[in-house]
Structure 1
Amino acid sequence: MDRAVSLSQLLRRPLVGRDGQAVGRLSDVIVRLRGRDYPVVTGLVAQVGRREVFLPVEQVVGFEHEQIPLASEVVDLRPFDRREGEVLLRADVLGHRVVDVADVDLVRAHDLQLRRRDDGWTVEALDTQPHRPGLLGLFGTRPEPKWRDWKSFEPLIGHAHSARVRGPFGRLGRLKPADLADLLEDANRTESHEILATVHADPELEADVFEELEPDSQTRLLREKSDQQIAEVLARMHADDAADAINDLPQARRQPVLDALPAGQRAKVLTLMGFNPSSAGGLMALDILTAPPDATAAQVLGRVREARTLQPEALTSVHVVQDGNRLIGTATLVSLLQADPDARLDQIMVTEPVRVGPDTDIEDVALLMTDYNLLTVPVVDDQDHVLGVITVDDILETVIPEDWRRREPAPHPAHRTEPGAQAPAHDTDSGP
């Protein structure tokens, strides 16, 4: 029958040779990460005298006893030298925080469960419940661990070579940009560096994550990058978010970052930085979809289909323009879908649409969008030329409390034990 053991109870156990003589004590367990599969044990770090040495897992008979028997008492006494891809369970995981992917939270690994399988000893479960000894704890009995499947977590090992072995995303690839931003808000400096290093493998995702960060966290993380690295992130962000990010940088760094931006993005950002950040001009997005009044519904829908670089929120309405980008109407995406494909825009559009000037206060924009049930509102100059568009999600971010990300989250449902993660009580080595 398979046997499961707890890492915390294995540590410091004596290692004994075939003659029963103590060789040393277990200092750490070395594993190799295997992507979506459970990590497999490849060796031990043994404390022999005053030095730590390596023991291959093939030399270990088993972990089930109070003393860990070895197939041979011959030990290579060269000091242990960590190799690329090796993860140390005690040094890297035990007592450290890991990402709870299901709950999008950082939790601490208080214990690890190892189990013998056909392919060797593997790490299959984590205990994230803090050990708070009660009355029984005073007499030496540990609380029963609550094991959860290893595959529900992503370790933050803080070791670059090991992180590379995990691949570019690991289980963090399941999370949305807003989820990753929440993790970064709660992470310490070391943890945030590892999360960002993972996200950096997908530049578009990295830009999306920075857009979701609170301004203070965004600025803190950007300031740790070079000017060129900041520009690479901002080049992929929406121009309005990039302009806000540059405004929040220290004065001395703004111009070098602007100079490093691609010309197109730099022009958009400079345009937006010319407006008050608390006005419609400072909030608007510059990339919008416009069409002439004689375009058909089918033609406009084709342009919507091809507008892959625009914010989806900005595509809920098409702005009808003539005479040099002068706004004469708007047509919602729903009205276009419901219209005859050959119908012209000037037969479908709403004339005299609600619009605002670039100096309009954001609160007034929010009231207009609420009064008229609008998802977008165009921003125009004094001659009604379209300058940009404000979307409802941009307005929401400005009118809700600044500390909205730190709101008390709704309680998560109790975790169900993952299949195979909970070892039967009679089959777990509970230690002394």
Structure 2
Amino acid sequence: MNGSTTIEHRMLSGLVRKPVRDGRGNVIGALSDIVVRLGLEGYPSVAGLVARVGSTSVFIPAADVSDLTDDGAVLSSARLDLRPFERRPGEVLLKEAVLGHRLVDVGNARLVRAYDVCLERTPTGWAATGLDVTPPNWLGRRRAGESSLRDWKGFDVLIGHAPSATLRARWKRFDGLRAAEIADLIEDATQPERDDLFQHLHEDPELEADVIEELDDDEQAKVLKSRDTADIAAVLSRMHADDVVDAVLDLPQERRQAVVDALPEPQRRDVLRLMRYQGRSAGGMMGIEYVALPASATVEQAIAAVRTARTQQPQALTTVYLTEDEQRLSGAVTLVALVQADSTSSLKDIAEAGAVSVVPSDDVVTVVTLMSDYDLLSLPVVDDADEIVGIITVDDALEEAIPDDWQQRERRRHTS
């Protein structure tokens, strides 16, 4: 939004219910709303006004509006089309769909309410360029000279507004928001707002899965239970096996088997394997994606293996594990050590002496204590034969260790 004081602008709240006059100054009705047309770029342009004439709401095209003033709207003609107003695709009524409704403040990753809309005269006509999302004082007023307008483009507006949903679904509205931040928005949203947010997310299945993965257990279960088996399996197919297990176990028992059966192979095998372990144990916390190489492998080979592991979680790639006799753990090398070592060196020459590990039955306290004592970003889980069966990443360990009420604290977001 242009911040110059020479730009002519009007506030929506100051126009609603004001008179609509013809070119001779005669009052012919009252302004009840302003219609804007959404576009994929730029600001929404004013397509026209909705005026109350007698008991009928009529549409006045923007071309017939000569001015918007503090006293209302002035028309260039006295002629009106008295047919009842009908909204066309891509058109939005600002008072009906924006004023008083909640929006996504993308820059601050939170839900806010629109208290006013700024309309600005541009070279091509009037457009909605700003939003006021700061609550007025208890008298509904602001201090003289106080400005709380922000750029329209900083918000995902019109939550829950079905007529414009198809057009808005094509917008890249979640650019810059992390999956965890979108999950916070959903947890704070009303059901119509959630429906709208998920309609956006459905256009990006990978992001949708990441967001559902970030929801707390109760919210995640609520979202998944509302979907049919095929939809649940489609979402879970984009998640890592350990997170799928948690999601499946939160479903009603009678639905679990059907969902697991609908998962693609080999994910289904991995999920069934992990479901054997208890939730708050090392086995229940571990994932089964990691990089393991023979101790005789070179640094160059290890870096290449990390580089090509594009489907694995970044947290699982912070350490490369050394194995002997198939999967028996013999050591570990951090990614930093690999990058700093000579590319022709063998892993056994730069590996840390003695690899720290846990067994599937170890509890959360043991896991967290070991990771803290040895400054580990990941911790291998081994069976009775010392063969690796999975690893626990630091984010999963923290998730289990942090008290539930701490996890509900508002996330701080720093923007440049």
TM bucket, shorter chain: over 0.9
Query: What residue in structure 2 maps to residue 421 of structure 1?
Result: none
Which sits farther off after the overlay, 289-298 or 16-25?
16-25
Which amino acid in 2 is paired with 1:154?
D
Aligned AA (1:332): T
| TM-aligned CA deviation for residue 145 of structure 1 | 5.0
Q: Note closer, same or farther for the CA distance 1:181–1:141 as it changes in structure 2 (3 Å cut).
A: closer
1:291 shift after superposition: 0.6
Equivalent position amino acid for 1:201 in 2: E
Question: By how many angstroms is 1:11 displaced?
Answer: 0.6
Partner of 1:224: 226
Partner of 1:277: 279
Residue number in structure 2 paired with 1:32? 37
Q: 1:385 to 1:194 in 2, by over 3 A?
A: same
Pairs within 5 Å for 1:28-427 = 28-134=33-139, 144-407=146-409
Report the Cα distance in structure 1 between the residues aligned to 2:27 and 2:67, rounded to whole angstroms: 15
Provide Cα deviations, 1:131-182, integer angstroms capped at 9, x if missing partner. Answer: 2344x96xx9999552112122111332344233235343322211111111
Aligned to 1:270, what secondary structure does the other structure show? helix
Of 10, 13, 20, the residue aligned with 2:18 is 13
- What amino acid maps onto 2:75 in structure 1? L
How far off its partner does 1:56 sit?
0.8
CA contact (8 A) 1:289 1:319 kept: yes
The verdict on how the C-alpha distance between 1:275 and 1:146 changes in structure 2, with shifts beyond 3 A counting, is same
CA distance in 2, matches of 1:283, 1:94: 46
CA gap of 1:336–1:14, structure 2 versus 1, over 3 A, is same
Question: Partner amino acid for 2:228?
Answer: S
Amino acid at match of 2:97: D
Cα distance in 2 between the residues matched to 1:141 and 1:11: 22
Deviation, structure 1 residue 2: 3.6
Distance 1:312 1:23 in 2: 65
**Matched-pair contact (CA < 8 Å) for 2:360–2:381:** yes
What is the root-mean-square deviation of aligned Cα atoms in Å?
A: 2.2
- Report the Cα offset of residue 338 of structure 1: 2.2
Instruction: Give the whole-Å Cα distance in 2 for the aligned partners of 1:373 and 1:324.
Output: 27
> Gapped runs of 5+ residues in structure 2?
1-5
Over residues 324-379 of structure 1, what are the superposed CA-to-partner deviations in whole Å (9 max), with x where a residue is unaligned? 31111111112222222111122222343111111111221011111111111111
How far 1:8 moved relative to its partner?
0.6
Residue 27 of structure 2 aligns with which residue?
22
Q: Which amino acid aligns with 2:246?
A: D
SS at match of 1:41: strand
TM-score (norm 2): 0.93
SS at match of 1:61: strand
- Alpha-carbon distance between aligned partners in 2 of 1:248 and 1:111, rounded to the nearest angstrom: 42
Unaligned runs of 5+ in 1: 416-432
Task: Kindly indicate whether the alpha-carbon contact (under 8 Å) linking 1:275 and 1:358 is maintained by their aligned counterparts in 2.
Answer: yes
Structure number with greater CO (CA < 8 Å, separation at least 6) is 1
Q: If the length of structure 1 is used for normalisation, what is the TM-score? A: 0.90
Structure-2 change in CA distance of 1:347 and 1:104 (3 Å): same
Residues in 1 aligned to 2:143 and 2:215: alpha-carbon distance in whole angstroms: 44
Q: Give the letter for the 2:280 counterpart.
A: S
Partner-residue secondary structure (3-state), 1:173: coil
Tell me the amino acid that sits aligned with residue 62 of structure 2.
Answer: V
The answer to whether the 8 Å contact 1:133/1:142 transfers is: no
Instruction: Give the SS at the match of 1:172.
Output: coil
Measured in 1, the distance between the counterparts of 2:360 and 2:289 equals 15
Mapped contact 1:35–1:167 kept (Cα < 8 A): no
Aligned-pair identity in percent equals 47
* Alpha-carbon distance in structure 1 between the residues aligned to 2:78 and 2:111: 41
Moved more, 155-164 or 317-326: 155-164
Give the direction of change, closer, same or farther, for the CA distance of 1:403–1:49 in structure 2 (3 Å limit). same
CA deviations on 1:71-105 (whole Å, 9 max, x unpaired) are: 22222222222211111101110000111111111
Match of 2:3 in 1: none
Contact 2:169–2:199, Cα closer than 8 Å, also in 1? no
Distance 1:412 1:205 in 2: 21
Q: Give the drift of 1:125.
A: 1.2
Q: Is the 8 A contact 1:28 1:88 kept in 2?
A: yes
Distance 1:409 1:241, change over 3 A: closer
User: Which residue identity is paired with 2:166?
Assistant: R
Secondary structure of 2:137's counterpart equals coil
- Is the Cα contact below 8 Å between 2:159 and 2:197 reproduced in 1? no
Structure 2 CA distance for aligned equivalents of residues 409 and 353 of structure 1: 35
| CA–CA separation in structure 2 for the residues paired with 1:317 and 1:2 | 57
Secondary structure (helix, strand or coil) at the match of 1:350 reads coil
- Any idea what the Cα deviations from partners look like across 1:237-260, whole Å, max 9, x if unmatched? 111111101111122221222122
